[in-house]
Structure 1
Amino acid sequence: MDPVEPRTSWTFVTNHARILAMIVRDPEVRLRDMAAGCRLTERAAQAVVSDLEAAGYVTRARHGRRNHYGVTPGTLFRHPAEGHHEVASLLKVLTEIEPAGATSERPRHTGDHDADDVRP
């Protein structure tokens, strides 16, 4: 018997959540790395970052030639079904999952925060 193909190509974790977790892991993550990690174009990744920034989940500051992102503490989920919960609980789970191709010995930038320190 052939394996059953999925009806659609959906996932449990959105690109918005993936990019937010990438920012928690590395506040100076490059847009091209966000795009590659989510299998998006850089333009699509930029749109996600812009969404997150406009909604108040992320701040962005220029440090030399790089962007430095911050995750806003205390932010809540957007959907009413989860709206009374902070996003930090999801980010803690997502940042504990090692991204594909990453090693546990990857260098960290000065000023990085652990998921426990972030209360988006």
Structure 2
Amino acid sequence: MRRPLRVVPSGAVSPARRRVILPLDDHDSSVGGPGDAERPPAGPSKRAWTFLSTHAQVLLCVWRQPDALIRDIAEQVGISGRAVQLVLRDLEDEGYITSVRVGRRNRYQLHSDRRLRHPLVAQLEVSTLLSLLDARSPGDLPP
């Protein structure tokens, strides 16, 4: 059975998208009632974010394991395999990595002497950033 719909004004948006249709709840959310214990508290929602971009996270995975499978990188970073492919292509297009086919797998060669792209950190090489982020001991780091 479908829930009834109510129209809620959405605020300052373009005239073509002025109204949003939302399903009605079983009770008015402004009045306490059954199910309130399960609801998250009202207020601003927390946006998920991280200090490192997806590109930096994928690059760190390649730094740690140059022959990693795309699905393994995807699992570590928390993105889809297709997203990993797109990031790897970006990194290869910009000269940060080179993909080498070894049998049925790819091995990624990192060009750690490349400079970071953003003007605030353009004086740093990729290897500097990755060595700071890598928790392993310096003797275990790739060349």
Normalised TM-score (structure 2): 0.63
For 2:104, which of 53, 61, 65 is the aligned residue? 65
Q: How does 1:88-107 map to 2 (within 5 A)?
A: 88-96=127-135
Runs of 4+ aligned residues of structure 1 deviating over 4 Å after TM superposition are 4-7
1:15 Cα offset (Å)? 1.2
Instruction: Pick the structure with more strand per residue.
Output: 2
Distance (whole Å) between structure 1 residues aligned to residue 68 and residue 134 of structure 2: 14
Give me the CA root mean square deviation. 2.0
For 1:44, which of 83, 86, 106 is the aligned residue? 83
Distance (whole Å) between structure 2 residues aligned to residue 84 and residue 69 of structure 1: 24
C-alpha distance 67-82 of structure 1, shift in aligned 2 (>3 A) = same
Distance (whole Å) between structure 2 residues aligned to residue 5 and residue 71 of structure 1: 41
Runs of at least 5 residues in structure 2 that lack an aligned partner in the other structure: 1-40
Q: Does 1:31 align with 2:58?
A: no
Distance (whole Å) between structure 2 residues aligned to residue 26 and residue 5 of structure 1: 39
Work out the percentage of aligned pairs sharing the same amino acid.
Answer: 35
Distance (whole Å) between structure 2 residues aligned to residue 5 and residue 13 of structure 1: 23
1:5 Cα offset (Å)? 6.8
Considering only CA atoms, is the larger Rg found in Structure 1 or Structure 2? 2
Normalised TM-score (structure 1): 0.74
Number of aligned residue pairs: give it. Answer: 99
Question: Which gives a bigger RCO, structure 1 or 2 (Cα 8 Å, sep 6+)?
Answer: 1
